[in-house]
Amino acid sequence: MPNEPLNRIQGALSRHAPPLNSKTSILVDISRIKTQISKLRREISFLMIDLGKIAYDSWESGEASPERLEIICLSIKEKNESVKSLNSEIAALELKEASFSSQGSQADSAPSAAIPAFKESPGSSNQAKKG
């Protein structure tokens, strides 16, 4: 049967493709979340700078502005909570990714999941025929 090796290869690839797609999707999600965390941390840094400027200006002028300080502090707290939540999402996705990895290593060791070696038949040379 001339298509048997090709069918075996296609079968092996189709068994491995869904876990690879899922794993890739998880890695993309982790990357996206890490980007969000970086953005939040930059925003927190800017808020800290603003907080310091307001505190210093208040001290220098002798007038207190606790309302402005509280607004910034609440914003910093909210962003820190978002970072914690996103880190939890990453941890969950990494666990999911690890389960795909362990499933993949189990499937790789199974004899039925092995991709068959391609052997060229004696009469099917890829060389150009001399005329």
- DSSP codes of every residue in 45-61: HHHHHHHHHHHHHHHHH
In a domain, 38, yes or no: yes
Confidence check: pLDDT of 31 > 80 = yes
In a domain, 111, yes or no: no
The 3-state DSSP class for residue 114 equals coil
Mean of pLDDT over the chain: 77
State the total domains in the chain: 1
In a domain, 65, yes or no: yes
Please answer whether residues 51 and 65 qualify as being in contact, where contact means their C-beta atoms are separated by less than 8 angstroms.
no
Please, which pLDDT band fits residue 33 given cuts at 50, 70 and 90?
very high
Q: Is 71 exposed, middle or buried (0-12, 13-18, 19+ CB in 10 A)?
A: middle
Give the pLDDT of residue 85: 96
Amino acid identity at 113: A
Higher pLDDT among residues 101 and 34, named by residue: 34
Identify the domain containing residue 29 by its residue range: 23-96
Q: If we measure between CA atoms, which residue out of 87, 94, 92, 119 comes closest to residue 6?
A: 119
